[in-house]
Amino acid sequence: MSDGAIVYGTREHWDRVAGVRGVASTDVSVALGSSMLEGRSLGRRRVLDVGTGNGNLPIRAALAGAQALGIDITEPGVRLAAANADSKLEDPDVRARVSFRAMDASALDLPDRSVDLITVLKTIWCLPDIPAACRELRRVLAPGGDLVIQLWGSADDCSLLMVGASLLAEYVTGMHMPAGYRGPFGVTPRYMRGVLTRAGFTRFSVRRHSFEAEFSSPDEYWTLVRSLAGSAYYALTLLGPEQRSELDARLWEALEPVREGDHASLDLEWLVLTTGYDEKLRLVDER
């Protein structure tokens, strides 16, 4: 077994995750991104994507006419997202509408009320101080704008993530969240509504989404994980060849109940929480 020498949430940890993240999309990652932008008119809007990953959300926003900024905690993450944008946006006018910066979500280097839409995809549970980040997001969001946060469903509804993660944890024993982190399934809509209300947000809605992911080998399974959970995939890269072979065999055996020959499928459920505040209510708050 490997302890991985990983200290979750450190700058070094996120640097390493960025180093293995990759830019390839999967059907399930595309569905996740689409759910964040569903039904939104993006033309001429100012969009901030927090924890931008490979930058696909800002790229999609720029293609729809928005002025988009993606932020990541590390410079390697920013370089990855920028390279992805360079490769996907051939029109220089569209490329000029998207930018990337290294920035801490709890201390945003942005003016008050300077963005119209904020997206937080696969990120909120990674933040060491969620309340501080939400206060900053409230500060930079314009009245009437939307903050859109993706949350996972329950662990039972996310078998696509949990099957591999539970096995992987036996091999990379050092991969765990330190005290203070709630974890991906501990950041619930109820918890977030309380945090966001205290930060000054006043309207809320939640939409539920699901996806059945199909794959035909352990390699294809881990490709899906790579597009959904960068830290888990980084932990996978720490295994030696013998450990990886053993893990893959155990994974395929564990999937026997949902396999038909070489074909398997697992479910993933997530929630999209949308919040914001109105100008009138802001004025009342600030009296």
With beta carbons less than 8 A apart as the criterion, state whether 134 and 195 touch.
yes
Domain assignment present for residue 225? The answer is: yes
Task: Write the DSSP symbol of residue 155.
Answer: G
CATH code of the domain containing 141: 3.40.50.150
Is 200 or 183 the better-scoring residue by pLDDT? 200
Domain that holds residue 148: 11-279
Give residue-wise pLDDT tens across range 83-123: 999 999 999 999 999 999 999 999 999 999 999 999 999 99
- In the chain, the number of structural domains is 1
Give residue-wise pLDDT tens across range 231-270: 999 999 999 999 999 999 999 999 999 999 889 999 999 9
Give residue-wise pLDDT tens across range 122-133: 999 999 999 999
Residue 275 has pLDDT above 60, yes or no: yes
The whole-number pLDDT of residue 252 equals 97
Nearest Cα to 48, choosing from 168, 122, 188, 148?
148
With beta carbons less than 8 A apart as the criterion, state whether 44 and 63 touch.
no
With beta carbons less than 8 A apart as the criterion, state whether 130 and 217 touch.
no
For residue 8, name the pLDDT band (cuts at 50, 70, 90).
confident
Run of H or E residues at 229: none
Domain assignment present for residue 285? The answer is: no
- In the block, tokens 């905690």 appear at 73
d(CA 185, CA 187): 6
Domain assignment present for residue 63? The answer is: yes
- In the block, tokens 């959904």 appear at 228
Run of H or E residues at 72: strand 67-72
Report the pLDDT averaged over residues 275-286. Answer: 68
Task: Write the DSSP symbol of residue 172.
Answer: B
The whole-number pLDDT of residue 284 equals 44
Give residue-wise pLDDT tens across range 138-175: 999 999 999 999 999 999 999 999 999 999 989 987 66
Domain assignment present for residue 287? The answer is: no
Share of the chain above pLDDT 70, in %: 94
Domain assignment present for residue 6? The answer is: no
Nearest Cα to 226, choosing from 53, 61, 60, 10?
53
Q: What is the mean pLDDT of the chain?
A: 93
Domain assignment present for residue 284? The answer is: no
pTM, two decimals, is: 0.94
d(CA 270, CA 58): 20
Domain assignment present for residue 245? The answer is: yes
The whole-number pLDDT of residue 173 equals 74
Residue 25 has pLDDT above 70, yes or no: yes
The whole-number pLDDT of residue 281 equals 54
Domain assignment present for residue 94? The answer is: yes
Residue 5 has pLDDT above 70, yes or no: no
Run of H or E residues at 251: helix 241-254
